[in-house]
Structure 1
Amino acid sequence: MMGIDRVVLVTKRTTLEELVVRFQTRAQAEFYLTQAGESFAPIVEEHDAYHQLISELRKQIPGTLKYHQIDRDLLPQYQFRTSDLVVTLGPDGLVVNTAKYLDGQPVIPVNPDPERIDGILCPVTNSEFGTVFTQTLAERGNLKRVTMAEARLSDGQRLLAVNDLFIGSKSHVSARYRLSYGGQAEFQSSSGVIVSTGAGSTGWMRSIHASALAVAGALDSGISAGMPKPLPWDTQELLFAVREPFPGVGCGTELVYGRASDEVPLSVVSMMPRNGVIFSDGIEADFLEFNSGAVAEITLADRTLLLSV
């Protein structure tokens, strides 16, 4: 963090701005929604509040620091520098989007609307921003490291994830693959594999835990365990779970859950002629093709997300 000389504010389009992109003009967007019986006023209020917050944050950044503001759509083309301090103004998804393009730069994650956004990964409010910002510059901030996952294919392609990776088919047909873990290997046919980081253990993986416990309870299996506790954000393990493994001829259902690490890695070989994918953090457009013969090694990433909260 030594030598921070630029603040990069990452923003997202408001609902109003997305509607204008869709309908070409604000008037057209308002006409469409009102004709559908929806009120346009809350959308305008949200837009105005978001841009007011941008203005308020900007005033708290000293003029001695360079300042850039970018929309998240520009993240793939933007060149971050090691001397940057990054501020995200949006929900958890914006933090996740931004993290994949960083390499150790601290991030102050601001929640623009705490009344509507839970903000697990963006707990900083507007009223707290000034204090967090000053402490971060002075290297006295409360820094939290968030472990990231990485899927690396045999051809060198890789994909990072802050919350989770999905490995399977992009359609609703069964995914077919061979999974290797803990010195064992198994051919499986399932709805795909979810790999979760510590941060992601409160998301998709938590839903899988809840479903598994509910099904086991309905079957009167005698399982009395409650929901597992979320993993720490800086954990050096990755949880994985196989979704709906099919117990057919030649299809195993033994290696369906575990904790992968550098010592106990997870490997998946695709047996899908087409439509095999690996995507991260619920963003289906951010994917690697994963078709027959491709091998994916799932590991802890060599970088972490550094949140200043």
Structure 2
Amino acid sequence: MGRFQLLERRLLPNYQFGPTDIVVTIGQDGLVANTLKYLEGQPVIAINPDPGRWDGKLLPFEIGELQSAVTKTIAGKSACKTITFAEAKTNDGQRILAVNDLFVGPKSHTSARYLLSWNGREETQSSSGIIISTGFGSTGWFQSILAGALGVSGSESHPLKKGFAWHEQRLQFTVREPFPSLTTGTSLVFGAITLATPLKLESQMPENGVIFSDGIETDYLAFNSGTVVTISLAATQGQLIV
């Protein structure tokens, strides 16, 4: 069918994928999300190597279906799902993408301080950080935060309790444990990021501020005093063959 390159997961961040490549992942759901982040829209065929052990919500194929899936993809006859990514850009030119979630906050168990600007409003806040979720990630970390909020408020339902669609042109931000004080507020703790309403954060932390994506804490951008980050929908999108 063409040239074949076996790639170990640890080499993903530095591998140069070609524009016409077809990428096959063999592993659990987390591998799919981590791989999509390093692509520029190339199709991904996700293989579940052990259906008896893993549910594999993001793994629609078994190994015996690989040849058929690749053949259809080459011929342009495969169905695919589009996945919206989140993008964080800093004022010094750094950039990071997220397939599931972005985290902005403290590196350790301390409070983050920052100025939050969104939808024409701004507020100085102190919290344990901000989670920005994509539709792809809206059934993961986002749901645990939502479940906690519903439990505290005594509610049983929420419009986003089942997440939102992978392809939706939106992200959802949630402020974790916002602290009200004389100098910090809690009125902007939950909202949708769209093309018209990006989220901007200006760090007020002298040290230990970070921005990382998809739970990979070792691959991060520094978010310390003087850093301004804008979080928006990424131009890059993922393509998962189904």
TM-score (norm 2): 0.96
CA distance in 1, matches of 2:167, 2:186: 30
Partner of 2:116: 179
Aligned partner letter, 1:286: D
Look up the equivalent residue of 1:117 and give its one-letter code.
Answer: W
Q: Provide the rounded CA distance (Å) in 1 between the counterparts of 2:167 and 2:62.
A: 23
Alignment partner, residue 58 of structure 2: 121
Percent identity over the alignment is 54
TM-aligned CA deviation for residue 287 of structure 1 = 0.6
- Of the candidates 137, 160, 180, which is equivalent to residue 200 of structure 1? 137
Equivalences for residues 35-114 of structure 1 within 5 A:
62=1, 65-114=2-51
- Counterpart for residue 150 of structure 1: 87
Letter in 2 for 1:103: E
Counterpart in 2 of 1:268?
201
Distance 1:224 1:80 in 2: 45
Q: Alpha-carbon deviations, 1:157-190, whole Å to 9, x = none?
A: 0000000000000100011111111110011100
| Pairs within 5 Å for 1:161-176 | 161-176=98-113
Q: Secondary structure at the match of 2:7?
A: strand
Distance in structure 2 (CA, Å) of the matches to 1:270 and 1:193: 12
Task: Give the deviation of 1:224 after TM superposition.
Answer: 4.5
Aligned residues: 241
DSSP 3-state at the match of 2:218: strand
- Structure with the greater alpha carbon radius of gyration: 1
| Structure with the larger helix share | 1
**SS class of match (1:207):** helix
**Structure 1 unaligned spans of 5+:** 1-61, 218-222
CA distance in structure 1 between the aligned counterparts of 2:148 and 2:22, rounded to whole angstroms: 40
The more displaced of 172-181 and 99-108 is: 99-108
In structure 2, the residue matched to 1:44 is none
**Alpha-carbon distance between aligned partners in 2 of 1:178 and 1:117, rounded to the nearest angstrom:** 42
How far residue 111 of structure 1 moved from its aligned partner, in angstroms, is: 1.5
Q: Which residue of 1 aligns with 2:157?
A: 225
Which of the numbers 193, 210, 226 marks the counterpart of 1:277? 210
SS of residue paired to 1:75: helix
**Which whole-Å CA distance do the structure 2 matches of 1:103 and 1:113 have between them?**
28
Q: Deviations over 1:104-156 (max 9, x none)?
A: 21110112222332322222222332332221111110111111000000011
Q: How far apart are residue 225 of structure 1 and its match?
A: 2.6
Structure 2 Cα separation of the partners of residues 98 and 224 of structure 1: 35
1:247 matches 2:167: no
Q: Distance in 1 between matches of 2:211 and 2:34?
A: 16
After superposition, the C-alpha distances for 1:10-56 in whole angstroms (9 at most, x for unaligned) are: xxxxxxxxxxxxxxxxxxxxxxxxxxxxxxxxxxxxxxxxxxxxxxx
Higher relative contact order (CA 8 A, sep 6+): 2
CA distance in 2, matches of 1:115, 1:302: 37
> Once superposed, which parts of structure 1, at least 4 consecutive aligned residues long, lie more than 3 Å away?
none
Partners of 1:283 and 1:251 lie apart in 2 by 29
Could you tell me which amino acid in structure 2 is paired with residue 144 of structure 1?
K
- Tell me, in whole angstroms, the C-alpha distance in 2 between the residues paired with 1:118 and 1:271: 42
SS at match of 2:17: coil
Is 2:240 aligned against 1:307? yes
Q: Distance in 2 between matches of 1:185 and 1:85?
A: 43
Find the counterpart in structure 2 of residue 257 from structure 1.
190
One-letter amino acid of the structure 1 residue matched with residue 208 of structure 2: N
Aligned residue in 2 for 1:213: 150
- Any unmatched runs of 5+ in structure 2? none
